[in-house]
Structure 1
Amino acid sequence: MIRTLVVDDEPALLELSKTFLEKSGEISVDLADSALSALDRMKSASYDVIVSDYEMPGMDGILFLKKLRESGRKTPFILFTGKGREEIVIEALNSGATFYLQKGMDTKTQYAELISKIRIADLQFRAEKSVQDSRQQMETILSFLPDPTLAIDNSGNLILWNHAARELTGIAAADMLGKGGYIYAVPFYGKPRPLLVDLILHPDEQSLTRYTVLENSATCLMAECGVDLPDGRHRVFWGKATPLYNPDGEISGAIEIFHDITEQKRIIDEHKLARESLARKNEEILSHNKKLAATEEVLSRTLDELRQSHRLIQESEQKYRILVDTLPDALLIHDGEKIVYGNPAACAMFGVDQHSLVRIPLASLLGNGAGKTIAALSGAAAGGASPALPLEFSVKKPGGETVWLETTVSSLGNDRQARVQLFFHDITKRKLSEDHAASKHNEAERYAHALDRANKNLNLLYSITRHDILNQLTVLTGFMELSEAGITDPVLKEYFKKQKCAAQAIYRSILFTRDYQALGIHEPVWQNLQDLICCVTAQATAPGIRFTIAAEGLEVYADPLFEKTFYNLIDNSLRHGHQVSAITISARKDDSGVTLVYEDNGAGVPRDEKARIFERGYGKNTGLGLYLVQEILALTDISIKETGEPGHGARFEMQIPERSYRLTTVPARKSSAGESSPLLPP
């Protein structure tokens, strides 16, 4: 028996789930009416599978899942809920959910699928545990090999770092496993770079030049290389790398083993260095006499160069003086204690002449607050500190006017005398503009926050109400299914049939409100049309329908609900097309943009109904499908019309304007639902 815990805040749904699951004869069911109750039960009991609702008071299903995973429990987890939003599905799977199953109106089918998911989850969990035990045994053997050993997978991520590697580098396996991008080379070489284990998988002649290669084949790569370890030791290693294979004989990664040959290499290198040293000494003696002869000529040329340099320095100093005196920004030169120079712009800014400027302390000139800070930065720069970031502060000019200045402090780089230069740029206008903009921005944010809060409250109310209605509909239809099995009166059976039709109509209307509520909430995004349609046709329940898609390389800027367009068009064909066997979706470029065409080979649309099929409430089913299609497309100015011939199939043309599409160049692919081709030419 598969021991299963079912968690849901609806007592009726708990009772219904227990009834259906235990009827299979393979599953025993315990019930919990909240996530907290389930966690309490699991303190004293263990389960093979957990089935949980999403929206529950106190703790929702995903938070419940995260609590389980954080506690170390890997029990298979199936999220069984009426919520069908994509972000909930993604978050559930990312949080470790085994399966995601959405509640629907067909109670028998959904519980049959749930039973199947429970069986698969249990078998899968048991198989994975067996494989994990076997792999753990192999990893233990590799971990205790005497030589440092490491291994990577085909993606370049580290999967083995044994004890000998840890002792050599001082880095534990937990800090290295799972890392890629050659990070595992850093403990050896101080930076990411390919090792032999990488080069056996992805040969690179340039990278191999760093090694002394001893053997190089498809199945073995041996080489020698010197390594500077983190503790300062220089070691020479002989390394050997070979591929790893999976049970199917395919390469799944590679393994490398190191062996320390430092001592052998040291002896060989010492002999080589001794011979080279003797040869160099001989060459030095021979060249010494030539150098002495050339020294006098070099000294003579050096004296001439010094005279020339002195003249160039005098000319450069004169040019620099002219440049500084004409700068629009104020410049002060400070020696760490006092001002030694100020350009005319500085004299004008601070309202003093050159003679008085050099007698005023920097802190007094700028005011006690900013002046002390800049004086400290000036002293630090004079002492060799790195240039400080620009500093903004305000000062009062002699006339009483307050101005904002931006100053930068940097060293002049004079080794004989430590001096710094201070540039002051007037940013008063910019500061006033920033203050005004900040005030406007804060006001706009307050309005936006209030509006967003109101929208969230309304959406929450709609979501809770819709969720409760759908839960009760599930309970209602479930008990109707159970009740109908025991009724033989044909009149009552007909009543039950009409009741089920009414419940299904309510269900479809509620789903429409969910889709319509989400319409326009999120910003439009670029969507790959070929991938989107292939995904929709693969998921559509359309047995016997052949789909042909010709939209490769086309991306459409549309609302995130854009995929609902094709779900509704396919549903329209199946409901009203009468024996549809083929559906074609194609795109062609024209003068006004791109025309996207959806057509089937069914009965088509009568001429007198073409103008009304997009009206809300018109039609034989809910009357909402094509209305929703039109509303989704209109958000990004995409129009739609029906242009088919009655009796020859329905044909819907969607006109996409220039700003709402873009073309990419990719090879044609085949979808699982049918054929695909590139974008058709005009």
Structure 2
Amino acid sequence: MEVQNAQHTILFECRKPISLLYVDDDPGLLEICKLFLEQSGQIHVDLLSSAQTALEKLKSCTYDAIISDYQMPGMDGITLLKTLRSQGNFIPFILFTGRGREEIVIEALNNGADFYLQKGGDPESQFAELEHKIKLVVEQRKIKTELVESRRRFTDLIDFLPDATFAIDLEGKVIAWNRAIEDLTGVVKESIVGTGNYSYALPFYGERHPILIDLMLCQNPEIERQYLHVKKKSNKIIADTHVRILNGKKDLTLWGIASPLYDTKDTIVGAIESIRDITDLKKAEEVLVESEQRYRNVVEDQTEFICRFLPDGTHVFVNEAYCRYFNREHNDIIGKRFAPRIPDEDLVLVRSHFASLTHEMPIAHIEHRILMHSGEIRWQRWSDRVIFNPDGRVVEYQSVGRDITEQKQLEESLRQTNKKLNLLNNITCHDILNQLTALLAYLELNGEKISDPEALDFLKKEIHAVNKIRTLIKFSRYYLDLGVNTPDWLNLRDVCMGAIPGREGITVTCLSGDLDIYVDPLLEKAFSTLFDNVISHGEHVTAITVSYRKDPEPGGVTITVEDNGAGIPDDEKEQIFKQGYGKHTGLGLFCLREILLITGITIRETGVWGEGARFEIRVPPGRFRDASSA
């Protein structure tokens, strides 16, 4: 008893005094009781001499506990107790009386009294016992109140969770059932809270049996086998399950997570489970998986090499064709920095190619050589796309390529054949020109001996025809060089400067010093021809300007050559590029277009008649680069 008193002394010494109401019709006992109970300073006692005045007092004041005598005039202590309980007042109540009959004790306890203490005996020990019981009953009521409040807060918290959630105690009785699970199952809280025997399984499975939440209270492999994709994470279990019918809905997939419930001493006092209907999500996942599989099948069936890689060269995807070509397994490439060996002279081109990919021009094409593991050199053509994140940082490249070695070998074979044919043609043309020169000489000599006017007219026509033949043969020799030499990177400014000499009185401005284009080496001759046409047909040309701009979509650059001459009439803008059209031979612009087309470059005239000619030369992606990156 002394130990208990010491414990309660420590427990209450930092708290405010207990407020106590003592009701008794004996004035002397009221006084002595107050003296004993208040001497520790832990209890404050108010005294009343009747039950009726106590009821009135309680309407305006609150107390932590009541001590009441049993036998009092007007209303006894048990009647006071019954009245309070009928009013919903469950204040701790101790019956302190001189009557010790058993039926009184039973009646008091049955009507909600917390303790019964009989008067008499040694006053000091009796009041010490009374003080102990007062403190004990107040502490018990406080704990009970806090427990009820804690459960209320717990229930309120669960009630506002977005996921369907319920909880059970160690006996398997439902102690919480929130609004979301009411909506999910159609079962209201009032009909299930307090029930046990696996009642919480009925809405889901139509029968009583252990479910996921029960795994928190007992390990049972049979329960786990009911679920799909069971995962254990710390003290939680996560799993999926299929439900045939739930609240009128059929064939549902539910996701659940269960964990233990602990009290303040970290003792397991129950379990809690949250449930989510993921049927639509699962269907969407299945559609996505099916779509990804179709996409993967399409990609894997391609003969082109397809890959995706990070800026540091780490590959995140390659298709089967890519692996077969390089004789590697997926695991040898995915997640690793894989790069085929590229000859040094082509490596500069490749680096420049990727450096040219921007927001404005995210796609470009390139042809280059690679060194195979066997030492063989092969050609590839790639289409590359850069992917940016919302911050504008490069996060990935996507590439589609194919082997063009046979095409390149065929082109080289044709080039060599053309060289041989050109050599033969040059010899033949040379011989023909020699004979034409001799023929013209004879015709000139013959003209000196002819006096007949009609014969002289015929002779002039013959000489004109021979001169035209000479011009055509000279052009054919010039045209035969097209496509013979391999295209190369030429600086646009250097090309312009090489075409300028000999044009006195003409100012040529070139605003394209940082642009290289991949083109036939005859481009300088072609620009010289273009300048000749501009000057000869522009009538009063004094200035020519060459500039360029980058095009946003689908990429590429446009080179502009414009003058301040007469310009080209609208009905002649396309005709000027046809063979034989024009004031002279009509071969200059025709030949220029053919030179450009060798590498996919196009030309058109877009100027305004009367304001000067304007030629736009469009270079496709992969056929230009910044000279500074070369």
What's the TM-score once normalised by structure 1's chain length? Answer: 0.34
TM-score, length-normalised on structure 2? 0.37
